[in-house]
Amino acid sequence: MTDVSPLFRPFQIRGLELKNRIVMAPMTRSRSPGGFPNDDNVAYYGRRAAADVGLILSEGTLTRRRGASDDANIPLFWGEQALAGWKRVIDAVHAAGGKMGPQLWHQGMSRKPNSGHFPDAPSDGPSGITLRGKKVGEEPSEAEVLDMAQAYADGARDAKQLGFDCVELHGAHAYLIDEFFWEVTNQRTDRFGGSIERRAEFAAETIRRCRVAIGELPLIIRISQWKSVDYAAKVARTPEELGRWVGVLRDAGVDAIHCSQRRILEPEFPDVDGPKGLNLAGWVKKLSGLPTISVGSVGLTSEFTGAFRGEGSAAGKLDEVVERLERGEFDLVAVGRALLQDPEWAVKVQQRRFDELRDYDASALFTYF
Ligand SMILES: Cc1cc2nc3c(=O)[nH]c(=O)nc-3n(C[C@H](O)[C@H](O)[C@H](O)COP(=O)(O)O)c2cc1C
């Protein structure tokens, strides 16, 4: 039987004490009509906190830029009514003994135009270029780019004021911050475009502004090589490029990097260290010296995009994930679908109730409890 004890050792990120290594992955649920967290959202997060998830990352929640999203059921992270809802969420999580940070999100050019909370607002992006490389709008001025960065910092400030324990920036999956990282969508020639360091400058600017806004509160950024339109895409083709990329994020003041993969056991650079080599979080930890969160099909046998095609996933073993954690390849393990379906997943693993861990059922995408 798998020895899962390494998953239940405490960990610290910049003064934030976590009771174990299990993180609830950010998962958009579109269950906040009008953008306002409600009773159902309070109960949903509170239930997972009560069942020993070490750190909850909220679903992507929107910055104040009007074009941040294409779905008016995604929660806002600004404005009196939405923040009052979030206050109830964090209070419930704390009352249940949990820790939580919002994932601040701006969809950038991934947004479907003319939709969301403010259908008339234009979409933001580095260069007015779609994920398919088509020029559809003007490149925003530097002042506008700085306002996009400040919008995350304003959310981070509010998170601190509400009593959240940390903040995560969504810098992955071809959304706004990632569109600056990615050459396809970033064709700028000013300080925000060009080399990998310059394409990371928007994230760095955002991180620095967040740091001013939140002081000592831990700040995490989520990154990915893969894009929603291209799973084989690479921002960094070599460890050397990856080191330059994450070095900019570290130097700007981020405390941990959440490395999004679809399959946690997949090596990032197999040509360099073989088919059992380090995964993305392993490389990022080695190259940046920062704590990392790893993710992707933990406790399941197939990857998450199938969930959106109506696919379930059989429960899988945790052995190799635990071994890698134990070796120090990464520090924390984020769990998505398994926790979506079963709020008690973490406590069942801790108590070795493995026979109670069910397969992921496709219908879990549509239930909410
Ligand atoms: C329903 C659903 C919604 C998601 N929404 C987000 C999101 O808002 N932000 C984000 O960074 N990732 C999002 N993801 C990706 C998850 O955070 C996670 O990386 C992915 O599901 C892989 O983990 P898993 O295999 O344990 O499910 C979502 C995934 C699912 C299934």
Helical spans, DSSP H, in the chain: 39-50, 80-95, 142-162, 176-181, 196-199, 201-214, 239-252, 270-273, 280-288, 319-327, 337-341, 345-350
Bridging pattern class, strands 22-24 and 332-335: parallel
Q: Token pair for residue 66?
A: 């009007």
CA dist 182 and 202 (Å) reads: 12
pTM of the model: 0.98
For residue 109 and ligand 1, the question of a CB distance below 6 A is answered with no
What pLDDT is attached to residue 2?
83
For residue 304 and ligand 1, the question of a CB distance below 6 A is answered with yes
State the distance from the centre of ligand 1 to the C-alpha of 94, rounded, in angstroms.
23
Residue 363 exposed, middle or buried by CB count within 10 Å (0-12, 13-18, 19+): exposed
24 DSSP β-pair partners: 56, 335
What pLDDT is attached to residue 67?
98
Q: Whose CA is nearest to atom 2 of ligand 1?
A: 27
The alpha carbon of residue 291 and the mean position of all alpha carbons in its chain are separated, in whole angstroms, by 15
State the distance from the centre of ligand 1 to the C-alpha of 190, rounded, in angstroms.
33
**Nearest one of 249, 175, 188, 186 to 219, comparing CA atoms:** 249
Query: Which segments of the chain have a pLDDT < 70?
Result: 1
CA dist 79 and 92 (Å) reads: 20
Residue 59 exposed, middle or buried by CB count within 10 Å (0-12, 13-18, 19+): buried
Q: Token pair for residue 209?
A: 């502004």
Q: Which atom of ligand 1 is nearest to the CA of 335?
A: 26
State the distance from the centre of ligand 1 to the C-alpha of 85, rounded, in angstroms.
22
Q: Quick: pLDDT tens for 294-332.
A: 999 999 999 999 999 999 999 999 999 999 999 999 999
State the distance from the centre of ligand 1 to the C-alpha of 59, rounded, in angstroms.
8
For residue 321 and ligand 1, the question of a CB distance below 6 A is answered with no
CA dist 156 and 305 (Å) reads: 29
**Pocket of ligand 1, candidates 27, 45, 227, 360: which has the most ligand atoms within 8 Å of its Cβ, to mutate?**
27
